[in-house]
Structure 1
Amino acid sequence: MSVSQPASYSRAQIFLHWAIALLVFFQLIFGESMGDYGHALRDGTTPDTITFIMGNAHIWSGIAILVLMVARIALRLSHGAPALIPGPKLQETVAKTIHGLFYLLLIAAPLTGLAAWFLRIRPAGEIHELLKPVFIVLIVLHIVGALWHKFVLKDATMQRMLSSKA
């Protein structure tokens, strides 16, 4: 099956991008409460209300990221994605690599977190925790790249994730 290459992302693809981004930022900012929640339960103590709420919010946000990523991948496979705006080969390689790593991490992080929490697989939890700094580096590179396209190259790369109009 051949998927066409649209001129822009669909509204659904744009929505999923920003919804996932917001959930990831939530996870990065408030994720430490998950450790407090786990420690309280392992120690046999009752976590305080905020720790309980934030720990569960972390779990459910991770599940939401996983579900939204499955939808995002399905949309990409069924509807395609716009071609990269032509540029130097290195720039295209970096863009493809960063996007590929994002997709990988956005599936791996929820899966390792779920495996650690529900299946009590300790190495999965250790991997899950190691992904945080990787996410931060990728996010910084992604934002710098978007701003580079907007203000230095002055091309439409950033606009394609803000509007579905080609």
Structure 2
Amino acid sequence: MSSTRQGYNRLQIWTHWTVVILVAVQLLVAENMSEVIEAAEEGETVSSATSALGALHYWLGIGIMIAMLGRLGMRVVLGAPAHSGATHPLQEFAASAVHWLLYIVLLTVPISGLVAYYGLADVGDIHALSKPILIVLIGLHALGALYNQFIRRDGTLTRMIRAAD
């Protein structure tokens, strides 16, 4: 869904960058949760730092899930700015596909993590596979934004930095 607006509002921008920061930290501390889970399964203990970082992973995941539900709600209600008029339809499709895949992954990963944590351990394997998928999607998203901003010079990145309202 897109609209005739030229950019995103302050709340959409704030939520976007909050999710960026949360995901970046999440990717850095994820292994600690794996260590906590493995130690629990083997009846061992982990260091207090590993335990704290595992807990951080848990709570950041919940934060990402809540923020993404908010982003999805805003996207449905407010839409998104239309692509530049000179954008090739295939490029528009790719941009939309990456955005929606990011929404799906950033919602399903925390849910799968919670399901794995609270008893369905096999889901943890699926949850762990999400990291490379997420990194690829983030890379595609960032490269697309940078390409549009600096090669095509269509102001794409500016729309997620400067509020339209």
TM interval, short-chain normalised: over 0.9
Q: How does 1:9-88 map to 2 (within 5 A)?
A: 9-86=8-85, 87-88=87-88
Alpha-carbon separation, structure 1, partners of 2:3 and 2:31: 42
2:97 aligns with: 97
Query: RMSD of aligned C-alpha atoms?
Result: 1.7
3-state SS of 1:31 partner: helix
Alpha-carbon separation, structure 2, partners of 1:106 and 1:57: 17
3-state SS of 1:12 partner: helix
* TM-score for the superposition, normalised by structure 1: 0.93
CA shift, 1:25, in A, is 1.0
CA shift, 1:146, in A, is 1.1
Alpha-carbon separation, structure 2, partners of 1:44 and 1:80: 49
Identity of aligned residues (%): 38
Alpha-carbon separation, structure 1, partners of 2:4 and 2:127: 34
Alpha-carbon separation, structure 2, partners of 1:139 and 1:70: 18
2:106 aligns with: 106
The structure 1 segments of at least 4 consecutive aligned residues displaced by more than 6 Å after TM superposition are: none
CA shift, 1:165, in A, is 3.1
1:124 aligns with: 123
Alpha-carbon separation, structure 2, partners of 1:151 and 1:73: 28
* TM-score for the superposition, normalised by structure 2: 0.93
Alpha-carbon separation, structure 2, partners of 1:152 and 1:141: 15
Alpha-carbon separation, structure 1, partners of 2:64 and 2:56: 12
